[in-house]
Amino acid sequence: MHLRNISIQNFRCFQNTTAQGFKTINLLGGQNNVGKTAFLEALLLLNESNAQSIITLLKSRNVELDFMTRMPTIAWDNFFYQQQNSKEIVIKTDSFSRKWQLKIGILKQDEPELKNNSSFDEQKLISLTKELTIENSCDLIGGINKDGHTVGMYHLKTTTDDVIIVRNQSKGIINTNYIPSNKSASHEELALIFDTAKYEGWSDRLLAAFRLIDPSIVKVDSFSLGKTPSIYLQRNNEKYLPLSHFGDAMNKIANYVLRIVGSNNSVLLIDEIENGIHHSHQEELWSMLFKLALEFKVQIFATTHSGEMLNAFKNVTIKQQDSDSGAYFMLDRHHTTQEIIVQKIPIATLNERIQTQKPTRG
């Protein structure tokens, strides 16, 4: 079920960009503002083509309710290339021996697609979207087309009273988890995923991951000792302490591992994977991710600004028995057109560039 390619048109900073040759673990590098985060967002929308994905992206970009209330058009226009919503966003792939594409565009209120749909969707999605209620009605429509036939459609209609989602829900291509660079998972959320992993007999994977950072940790468990459950760690000859006492790196590790073991046959998107991870642990992190991704059949896409993280990825990829399980992609702008291009750099070439100090990140 792994993605092998993607084409992105009129989304964020991408006018018309194609990337090919994805592997099990894919690392994206490049200069600031070259589209690494937007690339992950495009993958999320393609894989999980539903209204909640739109909400996830708004929240990860810190789009506040007050801003949407005052500037509703701009809030939506930021999804479109150069904020021009006259052209549809088109994100597509022909992986899995079939064509699959998502289209997103702004509709006028008098268009028949909106007139023919007026009922609420699931209560869960309604509760998630109520906080994005804005003035001045603005409509968002998306569709998934398989071999030219519409198999799923949703509308996100915003009004001054409520947010109404009306759609014939498609589950999209594949279950996808997105970890933004500026958002941490709540301790309650991690504890709930951990409980599932423990029930399935996979909690030892998380303990092994924690021991990469702190070898003195001997136990990991979850307890509800306050208002919400939390993960607790125990060092040798010490009492349990909550995960929050062990620093940002441990929270990151827990999030990465639990998203993998809790979601077989899925995709994991990690923005700025180096955040909070000391350089001395980066090779161990990649080794663990390769092992877990292959075991649980999870495809990983991660971004980085860090030369140290890139070098660690290269070293671990070379050591893999299947040297074709990892790939590096450099995002850059064409020197003439300024369009974003995604260049796949073979690991051997990446190694040579690092050794000779040639550009590897744009």
| pLDDT value of position 145 | 39
| pLDDT value of position 41 | 97
Report yes or no: 4 and 93 within 8 Å, Cβ to Cβ. Answer: yes
Closest of 110, 89, 92 to residue 100, by C-alpha: 92
Report yes or no: 314 and 14 within 8 Å, Cβ to Cβ. Answer: no
- What interhelical angle do 282-296 and 203-213 show, nearest 10? 170
**What number of other Cβ atoms are within 10 A of residue 12's Cβ?**
22
Q: What is the DSSP annotation of 140-171?
A: EEEEEEETTEEEEEEEEEE-SS-EEEEEE---
| pLDDT value of position 194 | 95
- pLDDT in 10s for each residue of the chain, 362 residues: 689 999 999 999 999 999 999 999 999 999 989 999 999 999 998 888 766 777 788 888 887 756 665 665 666 778 889 988 778 888 888 876 667 777 777 655 444 444 444 333 333 333 334 434 333 334 444 443 344 433 333 444 444 333 433 343 445 678 999 999 988 888 899 999 999 999 999 999 999 999 999 999 999 999 998 888 999 999 999 999 999 999 888 999 999 999 999 888 999 999 999 998 999 999 999 999 999 999 999 999 999 999 999 999 999 999 987 767 999 999 999 989 989 999 999 999 999 999 988 888 87
CA–CA separation, 322 and 306 (whole Å)? 25
